Structure 1
Amino acid sequence: MRPSLLPLLVAFAAVVAAATLPAAEASYTPIANTSSLVIEQVANFSVIVYNLSNGKSLAFVSVVRGETERAVGGGTNYRLVILAEKTPRGSKGQFQCIVWGVPGTRSNTWKLLSFKAI
């Protein structure tokens, strides 16, 4: 091996090692005001998308609790527990949803990552 390649190989090895290290786990922060307009819009979005993709008929009622975290690559993850009602005038239940989005952007850039009954 030529001596001029050694620093380049060491630098390459350092980059590969850094790229293979596990990413620091993001942490969720509790939402202080779950009745804010933005949080209620995120929750309502999750119900609408769930209904459309699953042929269901739920109506958003309220946000029970929620948390946010900054998403890798930008945006925000919203983990919400919501109260929804089966329509027409059915039983109410709690659901957990995870939504990714960037506040202030169009709805077609938002994504429903999960939605399940709890």
Structure 2
Amino acid sequence: MRTSSSLLVAAALVFAVVVVAETLPAAEATYRPIGNTSNLVVQQVGRFSVLVYDLSHRKSLVFVSVVSGETEAAVGGGTNYRLVILAETTPGGSKAKFQCVVWGVPGSRANTWKLLSFKAI
């Protein structure tokens, strides 16, 4: 009888946790604008995104500048950078804007950074 009561109580607790979890609002990403895009870290993130994309896709892109950007605290630590980058197709060639999302921890080594997306806009 005690085993049945214990199982019933455990099942009720599991049900309560599931109901509460389903009613809580999901945490949404909150990007905040970058005030100074000429900041050294922001410029390095922009250069990193162009370099990684160029190496993996062989597009001969050359970083020019960061036009605008936003950051958010990433789940599990680090920072997500969503940047609009200006790059040349070849040195002295036509310029185009790209949007990238990069995850990283400022001050960490380069091998811990990740380019999450890179697309022409």
TM-score, normalised on structure 1?
0.90
Partner SS state of residue 10, structure 2: helix
Question: Is residue 85 of structure 1 aligned with residue 88 of structure 2?
Answer: yes
Q: CA deviation at 1:14?
A: 3.3
Q: Match for residue 30 of structure 1?
A: 33
Aligned length: 118
Q: CA deviation at 1:74?
A: 1.2
Query: Aligned in 2, Cα 1:104/1:20: closer, same or farther, shift over 3 Å?
Result: farther
Q: What CA distance in whole angstroms lies between the structure 1 residues aligned with 2:31 and 2:80?
A: 9
Query: Aligned in 2, Cα 1:19/1:53: closer, same or farther, shift over 3 Å?
Result: farther
Which amino acid is the alignment partner of residue 93 of structure 1?
A
Q: Match for residue 5 of structure 2?
A: 3
Superposed CA offset, 1:29-48 (max 9, x none): 00011100000000000000
Q: CA deviation at 1:72?
A: 1.1
Matches within 5 A, 1:17-56: 17=19, 18=21, 23-56=26-59
Question: Which of 66, 72, 81 pairs up with 2:69?
Answer: 66
What's the % identity of the aligned pairs? 71
Q: CA deviation at 1:102?
A: 1.0
Which amino acid is the alignment partner of residue 105 of structure 1?
S
Q: What CA distance in whole angstroms lies between the structure 1 residues aligned with 2:53 and 2:9?
A: 54
Query: Aligned in 2, Cα 1:55/1:74: closer, same or farther, shift over 3 Å?
Result: same
Query: Which shifted more, 22-31 or 99-108?
Result: 22-31
What stretches of structure 1 of length at least 5 have no aligned partner? none
Q: Match for residue 15 of structure 2?
A: 13
Partner SS state of residue 106, structure 2: coil
Q: What CA distance in whole angstroms lies between the structure 2 residues aligned with 1:114 and 1:48?
A: 13
Q: What CA distance in whole angstroms lies between the structure 2 residues aligned with 1:92 and 1:111?
A: 24
Superposed CA offset, 1:59-98 (max 9, x none): 1111110000111111111000011112231001111000
